[in-house]
Amino acid sequence: MAYETFTSNLPRAWAEIDLSAFERNIGKIKAALPPHVRYIAVVKADAYGHGVGHIVERLLQCGIDAFAVANAREGSDVRYIAPQSEIFILGPTLPEEFESVAADKLTVAISNADEARALSRLAEAKKTRVPVNVKIDTGMGRMGVWHEEALPLLELLPTLGGLDFRGVFTHFSSADSSREYTELQRSRFLAVVEKIPPKIRERLTIHADNSAGLETFSRKKPFNAVRVGILQYGLPPVAGTIFEEISPEPVLSFRARIGLVKTLPAGTPLSYNRTKVLDKETRIALVTAGYGDGIPTAASNKAEFVVCGKRVPVLGRVTMDQTIIDVSGVPEVRVGVPATIIGKSDGASVSIEEFCSWGGCISWEALVSITKRVPRIYHGLRNL
Ligand SMILES: *Cc1c(COP(=O)(O)O)cnc(C)c1O
């Protein structure tokens, strides 16, 4: 057979980001929220690997004006694109970052009186006001002031100069798995919120729920914001939430190309440590992506990719730059054709959840593990 190839100007491995699907997801989320509830778009970790620039830009075009990031550095990147928006830092801020968060007007999450006092001193010295949220630990055991110790901090804040007390929030540890524990956390949080004097409370942003926030949300005050992350990027909502009815579309597809096709005899061991031995003569292909691009080694001998509209199995260990697949059932395969690792192609598909079941990871992790080496290609860009 002649050496047939498929040429194109596609890279070796890439992620396609469908901004039109993203925009439809935003619309569905907005429509599901009660009118008094603000949509805080979580865009940490480079917008879950989708590329924070285009993602924030599209959110702004859709009228979203509040963002949440992990840290000062990410906040600064978002500030550059969104000069007017409120930007919440979800994680701890280090003392040496105080100056930059103040300059960027980022909303800092405060977990104790020492942080509050130090930030207040800095803000006063700089003759500025730093917006702050108090994080309450209601049982996640991570950020925040332990709920039973929150009151002194809440009373201290309004007495400190240079701080603009803007909100209180908590985070659920088991929103997608335990209604009971989530309700315990919610009741602990509400007990704290109720102790804030009404005059102060009425101007606070009060938020607890992420994409999986259970409760059916009660739709009532005092909650007036939600922090939406993974749902925006198209992962299905959790049953029993205010988002239950919406069906978001996946935004990201992950693809690479076939770099070589060859036939190997029965008995040939494949890849590092010979974890797979061919039991018959087999036509194999090399996909030009590996764990250096974001395919976990846990997916070795387990994952399936889509090639020419057919699902084909991964053979042997995933390596840094290449992954071997069995293309015996795909006679039309040629060097250069795309292989889909996550997403749809020619009527066949692999969902992120399925990819994660092979890779031993969670959806958030799979998305943020697609590495820098993988360029993001955007569909649905809008010319302004
Ligand atoms: C990441 C994060 C979120 C968003 O969670 P999703 O499950 O992706 O919606 C919300 N709140 C906090 C504190 C977070 O760290």
Question: What is the distance in A from the centroid of ligand 1 to the CA of 227?
Answer: 6
**Using 50, 70 and 90 to split pLDDT, how confident is the model at 131?**
very high
Distance CA 378, CA 282 (A): 36
Distance CA 25, CA 319 (A): 35
Query: pLDDT tens digits for 252-263?
Result: 999 999 999 999
- Nearest CA among 56, 355, 15 for reference residue 232: 56
Which residues line the pocket of ligand 1, CB cutoff 6 A?
42, 44, 90, 171, 210-212, 227-231
Answer whether residue 6 shows pLDDT above 90.
no
Reported as a single tens digit per residue, the pLDDT across 298-328 is 999 999 999 999 999 999 999 999 999 999 9
Determine the average pLDDT of the residues in 267-275.
98
Share of the chain above pLDDT 90, in %: 87
pTM: 0.95
CA distances from 359 to 12, 255, 270 (A): 21, 16, 19
For residue 384, the model assigns a pLDDT of: 62
Q: What is the pLDDT of residue 217?
A: 61
**Whole-number pLDDT of residue 2:** 54
Q: With 90 as the cut, is the pLDDT of residue 219 above it?
A: no
Query: Does 371 have pLDDT greater than 80?
Result: yes
- Helix 52-61 to helix 19-32 angle (10° resolution) is 50
CA 378 to chain centre: 17
Collect all residues with Cβ–Cβ distance below 8 Å to 77 and sequence separation of at least 6: 52, 69
In the predicted model, is pLDDT for residue 133 greater than 60?
Answer: yes
- Residues designated catalytic: 44, 272
Q: Give tens-digit pLDDT for 155-178.
A: 999 999 999 999 999 999 998 888
Provide the pLDDT confidence category of residue 240 given band limits of 50, 70 and 90.
confident
Give distance in angstroms: CA of 138 to centre of ligand 1. Answer: 15
